[in-house]
Amino acid sequence: MAETLIFKTLISLLIFFPILSNAFSPENPTDQRLLVLLDDLAIKSSHSIFFNSLRSRGFDLDFKLAEDPKLSLKRYGQFLYDGLILFSPSIKRFGGSLDLAAVLEFVDSGHDLIIAADSSASDLIRDIAAECGVDFDEDASAVVIDHTSYAVSVEEGDHTLIASDDFIHSNVMLGDKNMEAPVLFRGIGHSLNAANSLVLKVLSASPSGYSANPETKLSKPPSLTGSAISLVSVVQARNNARILISGSLDLFSNRLFRSGVQKAGSSTKHEKSGNEQFVTELSKWIFHERGHLKAVNVKHHKAGETAEPAMYRINDDLEYSVEIYEWSGKSWKPYVADDVQVQFYMMSPYVLKTLSNDQKGLYSTAFRVPDVYGVFQFKVEYQRLGYTGLSLSKQIPVRPFRHNEYERFITAAFPYYGASFSTMAGFFIFTIAYLYNKQS
């Protein structure tokens, strides 16, 4: 009876495991399960267009209050979510087991993060942003003001509603369709940490912008001014985790999505702001629906052969190939570029070759092994703006010629052969002359 029960259990597990492997297949890099933390559940409806766009693309959203006492990102050592959206700028302390360290561990494990702040941003949100390479204005009452690039409205206002069109030039981040309408922004500005080379400005303030309290007169120059002010920034970590940091929660709101926009000094009035297009396209990049690369079938072999050898000999002719594909959001498609390079490396690159591609994802090249023996590596280090980095390496030893593999007579050594034989002939003549010379 016990054996029968064990057998049935094993059969059920064998049936269940393939289902698990398909559900969590690494072949699909797109985040599926997103945890959305809110200050107020009303944000769920006031920002519904953004959330509905995520759902329409196949995401499963789990909405919770940021102070929920049952909050947790992992259970039994496994993360419960693929991405985290923090729409809770004023939260001073997360509920449950969630804290600053837990959020950073989540990102360090390769998961993605969206942070939206505003003028009520707490120290907790500021600390998370600072750990990601972004420093919000230290003045808690300061917002971004621009008396030149503001959005024209019926009431003149304090020019804190900015119409910005200073976007990053990257189709992989913002899509192939050009941004025609400016993006409406009301919130706080931030600067990028100069020590962090991984953070990039996606939306910047104009040269006339500055960060200050609009309700008070300036007593000293503002700490953030001009194009140094970043309104929206992104980070792609070395583990390919992606982070979006916005100084405005309103940037994602239905009101600004539907609002018309006319930039001061421009006669063109757009019926709809660029917010929806900007946020939608950028979120596709953040959640790996675009710009995600994978490399497969890394191969190398001697010219004219197909099998991969255990080692090469100096001066062998070899061929190297790798297939690179890009995730389109639904399937893997061939990645086409002309700047992928391979190094044949030992302490430093002895050979550096640009790989040619067949427009179908296959990259290849051929070269001769250098006349140096040791342990080499085939290395591909590919870093391109907006794309996940590729770091491939394959180790292979290179040996010298064996004693029986050299040519019998080397052309370059003919002078030495001549010197040897002439020495032998001279010695022979000297010996004969010495032996048969009569001494007086």
Q: CA-to-CA distance for 251 and 349, rounded, in angstroms?
A: 47
Reported as a single tens digit per residue, the pLDDT across 378-413 is 999 999 999 999 999 999 999 998 877 777 777 888
CATH of the domain at 98: 3.40.50
Higher-pLDDT residue of 159, 31: 159
Which residue, chain included where needed, has tokens 């804290």? Answer: 99
Q: CA-to-CA distance for 274 and 280, rounded, in angstroms?
A: 10
Q: CA-to-CA distance for 273 and 256, rounded, in angstroms?
A: 7
Residue 99, pLDDT > 80, answer yes
Last residue of a domain, one of 265, 286, 307: 286
Residue 80, pLDDT > 60, answer yes
Which residue, chain included where needed, has tokens 């919130």? Answer: 187
Residue 426 inside a domain? The answer is no
Type of residue numbered 269: K
Which residue, chain included where needed, has tokens 């700047």? Answer: 339
Above pLDDT 70, what percent of the chain? 92
Contact 397, 375 (CB under 8 A): yes
Is residue 165 domain-shared with residue 184, that is, in the same domain? yes
Query: Looking at residues 29-44, what average pLDDT do you find?
Result: 88
Last residue of a domain, one of 286, 316, 333: 286
Q: How far is CA 269 from CA 57, 121, 151, 260, in A?
A: 30, 32, 10, 7
Residue 110 inside a domain? The answer is yes
CATH of the domain at 327: 2.60.40.1930
Higher-pLDDT residue of 440, 410: 410
Residues making up the chain, counted from first to last: 440
Closest residue by Cα to residue 222 from 163, 146, 148: 146
Is residue 279 domain-shared with residue 386, that is, in the same domain? no
Is residue 170 domain-shared with residue 233, that is, in the same domain? yes
Which string of b and e fits 38-64 if b means at least 16 CB within 10 Å? bbeeebeebbebbbebbeebebeeeeb
Q: CA-to-CA distance for 329 and 353, rounded, in angstroms?
A: 31
Is residue 305 domain-shared with residue 203, that is, in the same domain? no
CA angle 315, 317, 322 (to 5 degrees): 130
Query: Looking at residues 265-290, what average pLDDT do you find?
Result: 91
- Name the band, by pLDDT with cuts 50, 70 and 90, for residue 9: very low
- Name the band, by pLDDT with cuts 50, 70 and 90, for residue 439: low
For the chain, how many structural domains are there in total?
2
- The dihedrals phi and psi of 354, each to the nearest 5 degrees, come to -80, 130
Query: Looking at residues 316-339, what average pLDDT do you find?
Result: 92
Q: What is the DSSP secondary-structure string of 365-421? A: EEEEPPS--EEEEEEEEE--TTS--EEEEEEEEEE---TTTS-SS-GGGHHHHHHHH
Burial grade of 362 (CB within 10 A; 0-12, 13-18, 19 or more): middle
Residue 10 inside a domain? The answer is no
**The pTM of the whole model exceeds 0.75:** yes
Structure tokens at 162: 């900015």
- The dihedrals phi and psi of 23, each to the nearest 5 degrees, come to -65, -35
Q: CA-to-CA distance for 330 and 284, rounded, in angstroms?
A: 12
Residue 15 inside a domain? The answer is no
Contact 97, 71 (CB under 8 A): yes
Q: CA-to-CA distance for 56 and 329, rounded, in angstroms?
A: 12
> In this predicted structure, what is the pLDDT of residue 409?
75
Is residue 280 domain-shared with residue 317, that is, in the same domain? no
Closest residue by Cα to residue 322 from 346, 298, 340, 305: 298
Is residue 252 domain-shared with residue 350, that is, in the same domain? no
Is residue 185 domain-shared with residue 100, that is, in the same domain? yes
Is residue 184 domain-shared with residue 74, that is, in the same domain? yes
Reported as a single tens digit per residue, the pLDDT across 198-232 is 999 999 999 999 998 888 888 788 888 888 999 99
Is residue 350 domain-shared with residue 323, that is, in the same domain? yes
Mean model confidence pLDDT for the chain: 87
Residue 2 inside a domain? The answer is no
Contact 322, 379 (CB under 8 A): no
Contact 107, 73 (CB under 8 A): no
Range of the domain at 377: 292-399
Residue 262 inside a domain? The answer is yes
- Name the band, by pLDDT with cuts 50, 70 and 90, for residue 330: confident
Is residue 208 domain-shared with residue 60, that is, in the same domain? yes
> In this predicted structure, what is the pLDDT of residue 155?
55
> In this predicted structure, what is the pLDDT of residue 177?
85
In this structure, the dihedral spanned by the alpha carbons of residues 17, 23, 24 and 28, taken in order and rounded to 10 degrees, is 140
- The dihedrals phi and psi of 358, each to the nearest 5 degrees, come to -100, 15
Contact 106, 112 (CB under 8 A): no
Residue 228 inside a domain? The answer is yes
In sequence order, the 6+-apart residues with CB closer than 8 A to the CB of 239 are: 108, 109, 110
- Name the band, by pLDDT with cuts 50, 70 and 90, for residue 148: confident
> In this predicted structure, what is the pLDDT of residue 31?
62
Last residue of a domain, one of 286, 301, 317: 286
Residue 23 inside a domain? The answer is no
> In this predicted structure, what is the pLDDT of residue 147?
85
> In this predicted structure, what is the pLDDT of residue 182?
92
Is residue 139 domain-shared with residue 218, that is, in the same domain? yes
Is residue 246 domain-shared with residue 333, that is, in the same domain? no
Q: CA-to-CA distance for 297 and 275, rounded, in angstroms?
A: 41
Contact 166, 233 (CB under 8 A): no
